[in-house]
Amino acid sequence: MKIFTSDTNVLVAVCDSELIGRCFREGGRTLRANEDFYRGEKVSDEDVKRALQGATTGNFTGERAVGCAVACGVIEPGNVIMVEGVPHAIMMRL
């Protein structure tokens, strides 16, 4: 998990570790699990849940990452896209 903060936003980025650095393409979609964006601390689901409480944006890539976001209630399963079989979802609080 990696957290980015600015004056008004907190972005939480979570990616399954084995996907970091890989790129997936399917049907005109490209999903890059960019190392600079995602590489951070290895954390538990509880750590992610705590971080999401104060987040304005969340970015989730991979089965475990997206599954955690769904379990935390910040992502609806119907809002998950698949690229080469890899789930991806974005959360925004306005």
R_g of the chain computed on alpha carbons: 12
The pLDDT score that the predictor gives to residue 94 is 84
User: What is the average pLDDT score of the chain?
Assistant: 97
> What does the pLDDT look like over 25-38, one tens digit per residue?
999 999 999 999 99
The pLDDT score that the predictor gives to residue 68 is 97
Q: Which long-range contacts (CB under 8 A, 24 or more apart) does 27-30 make?
A: 29/81, 29/83, 30/83
28 Cα distance to chain centroid: 20
Per-residue pLDDT of the chain in tens (94 residues, 90 and over written 9): 999 999 999 999 999 999 999 999 999 999 999 999 999 999 999 999 999 999 999 999 999 999 999 999 999 999 999 999 999 999 999 8
> What does the pLDDT look like over 10-23, one tens digit per residue?
999 999 999 999 99
CA 66 vs CA 6, 7, 41, 86: distances in Å: 24, 26, 17, 10
Q: Which domains does the chain have, with CATH numbers?
A: 2-92 (3.30.1860.10)
Q: Smallest Cα–Cα separation from 34: which of 75, 4, 78?
A: 4
